[in-house]
Structure 1
Amino acid sequence: MMTVREAYIKCKEILADSKIEDEAFEALCLFEKVTGFDRLGIISHGNEQITEEKLSELLSLVKRRCEHEPLQYILESWSFCGFDFCVGKGVLIPRDDTEVVVNLCLDYLKNSESKKVIDLCAGSGAISVALEKLAVAEVTALELSDDAFKFLIKNIKLNNTKVKAVKGDIFKSYCDFEDDTFDLIVSNPPYIKSDDIQTLQAEVQQEPRLALDGGKSGYDFYEAIIKNWSSKLRHGGALAFELGENQSDYVANLMNSNGFDNIRTSLDLGGVQRAIIGTMIKK
């Protein structure tokens, strides 16, 4: 038999041996999922015995993590902008970097009388839910993938929002929306170059390729959205994107040449220009 403290230490050691970074944090997350004990719980219940059943379940999750299954998929939940989201195989994991684009959108919406928003490539609904909750916006979320769409529906309900989920393809679905409809179009599109996907971290490669692959140049979705969706904005409406590394100049020029002005970018914590926003001044 093993105590709660010994079981936690064992999990941490196994993760460290498998070169999992931040093994203490990850062991704690897995431990809390199985036992309900957080850091304080482990300290106060440290000398109690952990049941064989719980230990077996815990070690099974640790094994999955050592095989580079994303921690978030194992936990089946992740937090974004202070809200909880169900995640799992088939949907992109919400990341802190994406909060940079949400902040640009919030900044824009606070001065906007009307707040009609569409989130393209909505995935788990992280951006959609955050904007509805934090800006009291009227949000439509467009997503193509069957798997991701299930998570989108689940997260809309989980967070008690009125986000309208629409199944659709950004390369075609613009035909289903009238011009001059939205105050803000936002997207965290696939932006990795097709050839670069095989070089990504093992964990990232387990996320859906559909949510990562931005085509040969990495710009397929930016180009299509700017070309086909800009007319859906009212005059003075805004378009905002999350960006990949070194993509800001290209996307800014593309927006500028398609009628956008007041183009601003925002840095993530790593100093990467991670988000961009511009307003529609001419059609």
Structure 2
Amino acid sequence: MVNRLPRTVRLEIQRQLEQAGLESARWESRVLVETVLELSGGQPFPETPLTPAQLERLETMTARRCAHEPLQYLCGTWEFFGLPFAVGLGVLIPRQDTETLVETVLELRRETSSTRLLDLCSGSGCIPAAISAHLSGVTGDCVELSPQALPYLRRNLSRLAPDLQVVAGDVCSPPPELLQKQYDVITSNPPYLTAEDMTHLQPEVTHEPEQALFGGGDGLAFYRTLTPLWKPCLAEGGWLVYEAGMGQAESVLQILEENGFVRCRIVPDLAGIPRVILGAAAKKSWK
């Protein structure tokens, strides 16, 4: 690229992305230029030429995107529930599907003055941070095992949800002291891709951590382990709220019911796909 105006360079990038077979080349080219110029989405491009350093950065980012590295990693931040989250290699990218889980928790706790929250497999921290940003009095813990994801989790929570604590550990074999705590809500978007799913990943998804994707042969291993393990940590009447993959909701619902949860139900995402499964730890007054 030669020293040109942003709008001209964006067209060049768009052509390169199209040649690489990227379907959203027009939009993505704009996002790349906005990222380098540090513009908010939709702001008009300036009428001043890009600097040599900006052009060099754009060339590098464009080449990496043409190689199907995720756009989110190239940008370094990605929006989820209206909030900017730091993301990069080693952390699962926040997805719009997961906003349904956040909305479900907000509906459950909207009338409360405080919420003790536990988030399992926290990754970037998008779920607990979004909940904390939209509810008053949220405290609790976020558990993540990956040493690559933990820096992103700590950075995002320190900025967006400082009252939540990061726990470096395995959700399937947690520190005993954590199992002694009580929470009003436990949330999790655990790894849920099946063995078959893992053989048909989109090129971009192959850059994301397998540890955050693979949920065992049928994708349900984490639900089977986490549900009985963490149920004693729920306060009476507290809620366990999961995200699940396409076609898994009924099986996850059955796991909750088999473990004694009540008021179990499934919530569809914006595309109508059964996405969120929740159940309550029974109160003594509930039948």
Partner of 1:190: 191
Q: Write the deviation string for residues 206-264 of structure 1: whole angstroms up to 9, x where unpaired.
A: 10001001011101110111121111111211000011011111111111111111112
Task: Look up the SS of the partner of 1:276 in the other structure.
Answer: strand
Pair 232,264 (structure 1): closer, same or farther in 2 beyond 3 Å: same
Pair 90,158 (structure 1): closer, same or farther in 2 beyond 3 Å: same
Partner of 1:82: 82
Within 5 Å, which residues of 2 pair with 1:208-223?
A: 208-223=209-224
Check if 1:55 corresponds to 2:58: no
Within 5 Å, which residues of 2 pair with 1:1-150?
A: 1=2, 2-36=4-38, 39-42=42-45, 45=47, 48-112=48-112, 114-136=114-136, 137-150=138-151
Partner of 2:228: 227
- Give the aligned CA root-mean-square deviation in angstroms: 1.8
* Segment of structure 1 superposing worse, 266-275 or 99-108: 266-275
Task: Look up the SS of the partner of 1:117 in the other structure.
Answer: strand
Partner of 1:204: 205
Take 1:121 and 1:135, find their aligned partners in 2: how far apart are those partners? 21
| Structure 2 gaps, min length 5 | none
Task: Look up the SS of the partner of 2:211 in the other structure.
Answer: helix
Task: Look up the SS of the partner of 2:199 in the other structure.
Answer: helix
Task: Look up the SS of the partner of 1:79 in the other structure.
Answer: strand
The answer on whether the counterparts of 2:191 and 2:214 sit within 8 Å (CA) in structure 1 is: yes
Partner of 1:277: 278
Take 1:50 and 1:110, find their aligned partners in 2: how far apart are those partners? 47
The answer on whether the counterparts of 1:140 and 1:165 sit within 8 Å (CA) in structure 2 is: yes
Q: Which amino acid aligns with 2:252?
A: V
Q: Write the deviation string for residues 143-193 of structure 1: whole angstroms up to 9, x where unpaired.
A: 011111111111112225221100111111163334571111110000001
The answer on whether the counterparts of 2:246 and 2:273 sit within 8 Å (CA) in structure 1 is: yes
Cα displacement (A) at 1:49:
3.3
* Segment of structure 1 superposing worse, 30-39 or 250-259: 30-39
The answer on whether the counterparts of 1:85 and 1:158 sit within 8 Å (CA) in structure 2 is: no
Cα displacement (A) at 1:64:
0.4
Take 1:113 and 1:280, find their aligned partners in 2: how far apart are those partners? 20
The answer on whether the counterparts of 1:180 and 1:234 sit within 8 Å (CA) in structure 2 is: no
Task: Look up the SS of the partner of 1:234 in the other structure.
Answer: strand
Cα displacement (A) at 1:50:
3.1
Take 1:149 and 1:271, find their aligned partners in 2: how far apart are those partners? 32
The answer on whether the counterparts of 2:179 and 2:230 sit within 8 Å (CA) in structure 1 is: no
| Structure 1 gaps, min length 5 | none
Partner of 2:177: 176
Query: If the length of structure 1 is used for normalisation, what is the TM-score?
Result: 0.93
Q: Which amino acid aligns with 2:67?
A: E
Query: If the length of structure 2 is used for normalisation, what is the TM-score?
Result: 0.92
Take 1:192 and 1:108, find their aligned partners in 2: how far apart are those partners? 27
Check if 1:243 corresponds to 2:225: no
What is the total number of aligned residue pairs between the two structures? Answer: 280
The answer on whether the counterparts of 2:190 and 2:215 sit within 8 Å (CA) in structure 1 is: yes
Take 1:101 and 1:276, find their aligned partners in 2: how far apart are those partners? 9
Partner of 1:264: 265
Take 1:185 and 1:34, find their aligned partners in 2: how far apart are those partners? 38
* Percentage of matched positions with identical amino acids: 34
Pair 102,40 (structure 1): closer, same or farther in 2 beyond 3 Å: closer
